[in-house]
A and B are shown apart, each in its own frame.
Chain A
Amino acid sequence: MPGLFRHKGWLAAGVMAATCALAFTGVASATHPANTKPPLKHININLNDTEALRTGAVFFMHTCAACHSLQGLRFQSLASPLHLDDKQVEKLIMVSTRRPLDTIVSPMPETLAKGYFGIEPPDLTDELHLRSADWVYTYLTSFYADPTRPTGANNVVFHNVAMPDVFAHLQGWQSPVMKPGFRFDKPAQIAMGVEPLTKGTMTPEQFDGLAKDLVTFLAYAANPHQQLSQQIGFWVLIGLAIFIVLSYLIYRLYWRDIVMPHGQRWWSYWKKR
């Protein structure tokens, strides 16, 4: 079969493509879910949305900070991203006994917290990295009433969570949408979503907006340098692009007289082979 040998490039490409295809079918067939995962709701984070950051920060300080710390941030450092002056930060964000350069630390003592919940409420600075924005957004909106739990509440994306439903008065209570699935490889009823049970003081749209603002603020806490990083990064990449063009021109200049081993100029060397 001399013809086969002549087209060896295509043959090699074909074999590699077939191998890749087999690999993907293999990966698809070899992974089956050990846990049924409820779908996550998607959120687009916009760290330039000052209004959202402010709402999120104020709500965090008045509700979440009772139990959760945010040690990556200092009160004073919030002035610039929230577009507030120091007086306003003191009035809106700071807890009275704290000083401007303090980090955001929950007033709840660790031992008491462990007594209340069985676990110390985690510091939320890195929560958005540990989980994801979508996960946190879904988590905040997916508490449901569960009389079997000590707090009376459970969560769709965090089964048997220790945190109580602190949004019940705003959002109203919710009931789970149960579907058969798997938990730890065993068949079980899995909460795949929630539906409203009682009315809260906020409309569903208002609460959804609040949850989004809170996630936006937490996203800022996890990436306080993101905007600066992208601003600098833009100019660094522009500079490097210019560097590439210049170094390419210098390279062409130096190499234009070099005769390659096969007797051709370097740019026709590859074509002729």
Chain B
Amino acid sequence: MNARLRAVGAWFDQRLPISAAWHSQVKDYPAPKNFNVWYFFGSLLLLVLVMQLASGLFLAIHYQPNPHLAYWSVLRGIMNDTHWGWLIRYIHTTGASAFFVLLYLHMYRGIMYGSYKKPRELLWLIGVAIYLLLAAEAFLGYLLPWGQMSYWGATAVVNFVTAFPVIGHPIAEWLRGSFVVGLPTINRFFVFHIFLIPLLLLAVVLIHLIALHQVGSNNPDGIEIHGNVNKSSGWPVDAVPFHPYYTVKDTLGVAVFLLVFFWFVFFDPHAFGLLIDNLNFSPANALQTPPDIHPLWYFLPYYAVLRGVPNKLDGVLAFAFVFVMLAGLPLLDRNPIRSIRYRSLLYKLNILAMPGSFIWLGTIAFGKATEGNMVYGLHVAEMFYLTFWLLPYFNRVRPKWATILWFIVLEAFVWLIDYWMFYTNAHGWDVMLRTDWIPALYIAAMTLPALVVPSLIHDVPKLPERLTAGGLLH
């Protein structure tokens, strides 16, 4: 029996490299020993991707991409009349939010441990592409229930392109397939959501994994595992085989994640309007604009940026610039030390302030669109951008005159933006001065302390070569 099974295996192996792939990519694939809890999110993202594809398949079977039927088919057909439809839909809606929770944590892991540094720059860029695709996927899917927020959210986002002169309006019409969001829009958004973007997403995720296995995983210490091998076995000293060590560890991660995930699915699928917007329980009405049009929680920081910039085109550019900065991280941070563990205190605080200001932006977007709130959002957005722009400052220990120069240039930039808004009558100083201290104080806090206590910008000296990205600066 055993011999016969082996013969069947050999038959397949001669025709498809199953065993070879299993050994090279899983069984004998060296993964660093020292992964911590931040390294669960990659495998969990794969799990959520599969869950979204599976639940989405069943939802697509029962869904009607038609303005007259869409709301009915989701809120009545799927929720009430399809067996287990409510469960499948709640898995899909909770999964969308889980995707972004895990993705933001996964990205932050990369930022903390320098996973975008040599040789993983391309891996990082592919990851940014996945983030973009996922954002598109979430936006397209959000139109499908055809509720008030779906309709007006799609209307507002498609109108971003009208900010561009001359070509803007024709492009918006081309995207919608109509003068307003309507039947052609819901049809194409449905097709993009279930076919085009998932296909691209799967392809890019596969490329992300291939790129990962080409360069190997980074780790919390930033150790390069490939140089340091056991003389007799040739196996990297700092690594363990991916299977069984990380398959059992990731199983634990999956178990914990599913517990939290299904708590939301079964006990609180709406989460006070965080996972499913309350206003989306009203069918789309083209004649009734809701009091404010806001995205779900994962896009709220971007919403605050858009709202903060008085000019629409500038707002769209500022919003798109976040993706440019993310993609540009390997160029901004060129310090050879990978892990945040061996970086200076001020650098650590700056890396903490990056998600801190991003979440802060999200909380501002919860507030009403008053003038004070818009300016407040702009100033916190400036702080968020500054956490990126300060990265080159931390590339090496700067002399005192350079620190002062960085301080002056960044402060001048922040105050010039305010002066420009005052000059164009966008806002008065009385409103702007209320929150101006945020970016101004942040620049001061990140640069000036080093003048008094130079050790605040000193990274750990004489780090072994294998903990660094290898002489990027030398």
- B-contacting residues of A (Cβ < 8 Å)? 1-2, 4-5, 8, 11-12, 15-16, 19, 23, 26-27, 29-32, 34, 71-73, 103, 122, 125-127, 129-132, 224-225, 229-230, 232-234, 236-237, 240-241, 243-244, 247-248, 250-251, 254-255, 258, 260-261, 266, 269
> What separation, in Å, do the CA atoms of A118 and B237 have in the docked complex?
77
- A-contacting residues of B (Cβ < 8 Å)? 33-34, 72, 75-76, 79-80, 86-87, 221, 223, 237-238, 240, 244-245, 248-249, 251-252, 254-256, 258-259, 262-263, 265-267, 270, 276, 278-279, 281-282, 345, 348-349, 352-353, 356, 360, 363-364, 367-368, 370, 372-373, 376, 434-435, 438, 445, 452-453, 455-456
> What separation, in Å, do the CA atoms of A251 and B259 have in the docked complex?
18
Determine the chain A residues whose CB is within 8 A of the CB of B279 once the complex forms. Answer: 130
Does B367 contact A31, Cβ atoms closer than 8 Å? yes
Determine the chain B residues whose CB is within 8 A of the CB of A126 once the complex forms. Answer: 75, 281-282
The answer to whether A1 and B376 touch (CB under 8 A), given A71-B76, A254-B245, is: no
Closest chain-A Cβ to B226's Cβ sits at a distance in Å of: 14
Closest chain-B Cβ to A88's Cβ sits at a distance in Å of: 22
Does A269 contact B363, Cβ atoms closer than 8 Å? no
Identify 17 new A-B residue pairs, CB closer than 8 A, beyond the known A130-B281, A225-B87.
A5-B345, A8-B345, A12-B349, A23-B360, A30-B435, A31-B373, A32-B372, A71-B72, A72-B80, A130-B279, A237-B266, A241-B259, A243-B258, A244-B256, A255-B245, A260-B33, A261-B238
Closest to B345 in A: A8
Does B348 contact A12, Cβ atoms closer than 8 Å? yes
> What separation, in Å, do the CA atoms of A226 and B190 have in the docked complex?
29
> What separation, in Å, do the CA atoms of A240 and B259 have in the docked complex?
6
Determine the chain B residues whose CB is within 8 A of the CB of A250 once the complex forms. Answer: 248, 251
Does B266 contact A11, Cβ atoms closer than 8 Å? no
Q: Which of B86, B259, B278, B456 makes the CB contact (< 8 A) with A130? A: B278
Q: Which of B254, B345, B434 makes the CB contact (< 8 A) with A12? A: B345
> What separation, in Å, do the CA atoms of A98 and B16 have in the docked complex?
62
Q: Which 8 A-B pairs have the closest CB atoms?
A: A233-B266, A126-B281, A130-B281, A129-B281, A244-B255, A247-B252, A240-B259, A243-B255
Determine the chain A residues whose CB is within 8 A of the CB of B221 once the complex forms. Answer: 261
> What separation, in Å, do the CA atoms of A143 and B87 have in the docked complex?
38
Does A240 contact B282, Cβ atoms closer than 8 Å? no
Closest to A2 in B: B455
> What separation, in Å, do the CA atoms of A30 and B252 have in the docked complex?
43
Closest chain-A Cβ to B361's Cβ sits at a distance in Å of: 10
Determine the chain B residues whose CB is within 8 A of the CB of A131 once the complex forms. Answer: 278
Closest chain-B Cβ to A7's Cβ sits at a distance in Å of: 10
Closest chain-A Cβ to B244's Cβ sits at a distance in Å of: 6
Determine the chain B residues whose CB is within 8 A of the CB of A244 once the complex forms. Answer: 252, 255-256, 259
Does A255 contact B349, Cβ atoms closer than 8 Å? no
Closest chain-B Cβ to A261's Cβ sits at a distance in Å of: 5
Classify the interface of chain B: helix, strand, loop or mixed: helix
Does B370 contact A72, Cβ atoms closer than 8 Å? no
Does B270 contact A251, Cβ atoms closer than 8 Å? no
Does B259 contact A30, Cβ atoms closer than 8 Å? no
Determine the chain A residues whose CB is within 8 A of the CB of B238 once the complex forms. Answer: 261
Closest chain-B Cβ to A163's Cβ sits at a distance in Å of: 16
> What separation, in Å, do the CA atoms of A261 and B36 have in the docked complex?
13
Closest chain-A Cβ to B109's Cβ sits at a distance in Å of: 17
Closest chain-A Cβ to B31's Cβ sits at a distance in Å of: 12
Does A230 contact B360, Cβ atoms closer than 8 Å? no
> What separation, in Å, do the CA atoms of A84 and B156 have in the docked complex?
48
Closest chain-B Cβ to A119's Cβ sits at a distance in Å of: 10
Which of B252, B256, B455 counts the most A-chain CB atoms under 10 A from its CB?
B252
Does B251 contact A15, Cβ atoms closer than 8 Å? no
> What separation, in Å, do the CA atoms of A251 and B254 have in the docked complex?
13
Closest chain-A Cβ to B432's Cβ sits at a distance in Å of: 12
Closest to A11 in B: B345
The answer to whether A1 and B453 touch (CB under 8 A), given A30-B364, A237-B263, is: yes
Does A31 contact B368, Cβ atoms closer than 8 Å? yes
Does A129 contact B240, Cβ atoms closer than 8 Å? no
Determine the chain A residues whose CB is within 8 A of the CB of B360 once the complex forms. Answer: 23
> What separation, in Å, do the CA atoms of A147 and B376 have in the docked complex?
43
Does B364 contact A251, Cβ atoms closer than 8 Å? no
Q: Which of B266, B353, B376 makes the CB contact (< 8 A) with A19? A: B353
Closest to A72 in B: B80
Determine the chain A residues whose CB is within 8 A of the CB of B349 once the complex forms. Answer: 12, 15-16
> What separation, in Å, do the CA atoms of A201 and B80 have in the docked complex?
37
Closest to A4 in B: B453
> What separation, in Å, do the CA atoms of A23 and B356 have in the docked complex?
10
> What separation, in Å, do the CA atoms of A23 and B437 have in the docked complex?
12
